[in-house]
A and B are shown apart, each in its own frame.
Chain A
Amino acid sequence: MAEAAIIDSLKKARIEELLEQGKRLDGRAFDEFREISIETSAIPKANGSARVKIGDTEVVCGVKIQPDRPFPDSGDKGIFICTAEMLPLSHPTVETGPPGPHVIELARVVDRGIRESHMIDVSQLVIKENKSVVGVFADNVVVDYDGNLFDACSFAATAALRSTRSPKWEFKDDAPALVEGSEADLPVGTIPVSVTMVRIGQHILVDPNADEWQCMDARITITTNSDGNICALQKGGHNGFTLEQIKECGKTSVRIGAEIRKKFDGISAGSDAKQ
């Protein structure tokens, strides 16, 4: 992913030169996202789904719900798993085969952001304690790449989960049995919003595109919840941040996160909204 695009050294110089003048190559303010479009119920065969675009980055997330055995150490909780994958058509350098460290990190960071926000109340996803629980699987696929996959996948999963209608099961004859014609919303609460920032020189940029991603010294992804608290964070990249920069990124993530969260408010099961 990060190794994907080979950036022209002239372009890198141009990006850095512009930053010194307080500008970005595509004209955005330092703390400005590209246009975000969220389309829910994009895949009717999934229990919930969303297609999210941030600029030219495009991610599709589908949620599938099925009964599953609980993890041995948490028989009183349902299962939530969020994955992410880069499709070979998303960029010329992406190859088929098992995921590399970048993609594994992507999937784990997106999963952690949603999990740690407690968006999904897994205690309500129990069919029969220690025997059978509901598994919620949110699978992201990257269709087109232009940087900032962390936020694109996180937004797609969040939107898809909010639009999910779940079938119901009851425990009969030692097995979960589908209750025909019965559906419910997922027990979703807080809305996690991840905000990814990169540092290029002394400048912190929100929502880096592929070119900016390629020039970055370091990056940080911070997820906030509806209370404006921070619930997950991941620093990456080949360099570091100062304490002041880390604090500033925290504040930015809370502020920008609150703005973006409004886009999710209108999304619920049954709304085929294009936001």
Chain B
Amino acid sequence: MGGREATMVLLDENGIRCDGRKVDETRHVMIRAGGLKNADGSAYIEFGDNKIVAGVFGPRDVHPKHMSDTDTGILRVRYHMEPFSVGERKNPAPSRREIEISKVIKEALEPAVMLEMFPRTVVDVFIEVLQADGGTRCAALSAASVALADAGIPMRDMVAGCAAGKVADTVILDVNNEEDQAGQADMPMGYMPTLEKITLLQLDGILTPEEYEKCVEFGIKGCMQVYELQKKALSEKYFDGENGRGGSGRSQKR
């Protein structure tokens, strides 16, 4: 991911970051549950300048059949970036990076989804990054989690995503694109707020053992903030909106 030289002021003397945020402040986050007509569940998230849509299908028959499991349902996740989502056009074919991110998001969601209730089926999660600006995997995970809930799939908990990191020798919350490129460390995290479990964790960049522990704690704080917005998004669709009579997620598509 490019160079790590600090060509811009990432943190000024008042502790204000390059986009005007404080060290422990996330970017503006907007989450909407639903939005897609054909998907069984969907969600849209704007996480700073990230714009991501997630759609869920299933539980449904597994194709190819050999992938099916007689003991449990399976989860498949595809994380994909549009060619126009980044500065230079991205080749639309799935890159190795996207394959890895698909895998870590899948593993982050799995503990939350009660797949064992649906043996021999698959739940497909499709995540499309329309615009990327650092921290897409956390935003994508947060949206996917809302989309799963919107699809009415039984879950043990939500999974919220947010990154922590380090710029100018300071631990910060929610790393943006500039900070990722020029900063010292980026630690994306996925967290189940009720079960208190970290289900996604990656790190690149150097942290002392103390900074490492602080980073993890910061990340959890960020995830808790995202969690509140996830709940708000679902409650807006099912309880407060004009169709707001609760009920099954499948009867109200838009």
Contacts and interface: CB of A to CB of B under 8 A. Distances in A.
Interface of A: 73-74, 77, 101-102, 104-105, 107-108, 112, 115-118, 218, 220, 225, 228-243, 246-247, 250-251, 254
B200 to A, nearest CB: 6
Nearest to A76: B3
Nearest to A123: B3
A230 B196 contact: no
Q: Which range contains the number of B residues in contact with the other chain? A: 35 or more
B103 interface: yes
A274 B150 CA distance: 58
B93 to A, nearest CB: 12
Given A104-B99, A225-B206, A236-B107, 18 more contacts: A107-B96, A108-B96, A230-B206, A230-B207, A230-B209, A231-B203, A231-B204, A234-B202, A234-B203, A237-B107, A238-B110, A239-B197, A242-B197, A246-B201, A247-B216, A250-B209, A250-B212, A250-B213
25 contacts: A74-B3, A77-B3, A101-B102, A102-B103, A104-B100, A117-B206, A229-B209, A233-B187, A233-B201, A233-B202, A233-B203, A234-B104, A235-B198, A235-B200, A235-B202, A238-B110, A238-B111, A239-B111, A240-B111, A241-B201, A242-B198, A243-B220, A246-B198, A251-B209, A254-B209
A74 B2 CA distance: 7
Contacts of B103: 101-102, 104-105, 236
B107 A241 contact: no
A74 B199 CA distance: 34
B216 A243 contact: yes
Q: Return the 5 tightest CB-CB contacts between A and B, nearest first.
A: A240-B197, A233-B203, A240-B199, A235-B201, A101-B103
B205 interface: yes
Interface of B: 2-3, 96-97, 99-100, 102-104, 107-108, 110-111, 187, 192, 195-209, 212-213, 216-217, 220
A83 B111 CA distance: 30
Contact of B217 (A218, A225, A243): A243
Contact of A247 (B111, B200, B208, B213): B213
Nearest to A250: B212
A107 B99 CA distance: 12
A112 B220 CA distance: 23
Contacts of A108: 96-97, 100
Contacts of A240: 108, 111, 192, 195, 197-199
Contacts of B199: 218, 235, 239-240
Contacts of B111: 238-240
Contact of A239 (B96, B97, B110, B204): B110
Contacts of A228: 208-209
A118 B197 CA distance: 31
A73 to B, nearest CB: 6
A239 B75 CA distance: 13
A220 B197 CA distance: 14
Given A229-B206, A229-B209, A236 B104 contact: yes
Q: Which of A74, A238, A240, A246 has the most CB of B within 10 A?
A: A240
A238 B206 contact: no
B196 A242 contact: yes
B148 to A, nearest CB: 16
Nearest to B2: A73
Contact of A104 (B2, B96, B212): B96
Given A101-B100, A105-B103, A240-B111, A231 B209 contact: no
A116 B204 contact: yes
Nearest to A77: B3
A236 B207 CA distance: 20
B249 to A, nearest CB: 25
A184 to B, nearest CB: 24
A126 B227 CA distance: 47
A108 B204 CA distance: 12
B204 A246 contact: no
Contacts of B187: 233
Contacts of A246: 198, 201, 216
Contacts of B198: 235, 240-243, 246
Contacts of B195: 240
Nearest to A231: B206
Contacts of B207: 229-231
B190 to A, nearest CB: 8
Q: Which of A73, A118, A235, A243 has the most CB of B within 10 A?
A: A235
Contacts of A230: 203, 206-209, 212
Contacts of A104: 96, 99-100, 103
Nearest to B220: A243
